[in-house]
Amino acid sequence: MRRGRGGSRIVETVTGVAPNITLRLMPTGTSLVAGVPPPSRMLRADAEGRLEGAVPPGVCLARVNPARHDGWLTESVRVGDHDVLDLPLTSRSGEPITDLVISFADRAAEITGVLRHPDGTPEPAVLMIAFAADRRYWTAGSRRVRAVGPASDGRYEFAGLSPGEYLLAAVNEFDTTGGIAAELLAPLADVATRVSLARGERRELDFQIGGGNR
């Protein structure tokens, strides 16, 4: 990770990666229509890896293109304690953004494990949910809210996770049509298993149906 350099809207990033990236700021509420890019502001890194440019006022989300480059993947785009890959960034006219930090990593964190019945047989018919402990990230399309169905041998995998605190739960019935709403996650938070992930960390957690993790 590299810190922001002094000055308006400037970010210092990993040498060799930064000159090839573009930061896209997209207004919230825009929809992605096939073949029609959403209205956005593009900031391209210069040869020294610095990003500088006017940020339109309003509320937007950030995206880094490409998200993966030469083995590096985008981990976060932070302004203060806000990761604006998942949380909206509010920009006010005439106010510079001086503390934006883009972080890259050579590998993402992941959680894997097996779901079993008390007799040891695998359970492939339930759904595993992994979601951020921080409720601010319970938003539509968040990278920090995932749902996967185990394979026939009961093994599940959450790959490509950003570091942080997550909650894991196995559920029998869960409607993910149209995304996972915050009101569906709230009752799970009280019974879910908390997992702390460092950058690039791989955790293995097996779950026993009706008996939690082990």
DSSP string, 122-162: B--SSEEEEEESSGGG-STT-TTEEEE---TTSEEEEEEEP
In the chain, what are the domains?
A: 18-105 (no CATH), 109-213 (2.60.40.1120)
Structure tokens at 70: 């030469």
At 187 the three-state DSSP class reads helix
**What pTM does this model have?**
0.71
Do 157 and 147 meet the contact criterion of CB atoms below 8 Å apart?
Answer: no
Tens digit of pLDDT per residue, the chain (214 long)?
Answer: 333 333 323 333 444 445 567 777 777 654 444 444 455 677 776 666 666 666 667 777 787 876 666 667 788 888 877 788 878 888 776 677 777 777 777 788 999 999 998 888 998 888 899 999 999 888 767 788 898 988 999 999 999 888 899 999 988 766 665 557 678 888 999 989 999 999 889 999 998 886 556 5
Angle at 212 between CA 211 and CA 214, to 5 degrees: 105
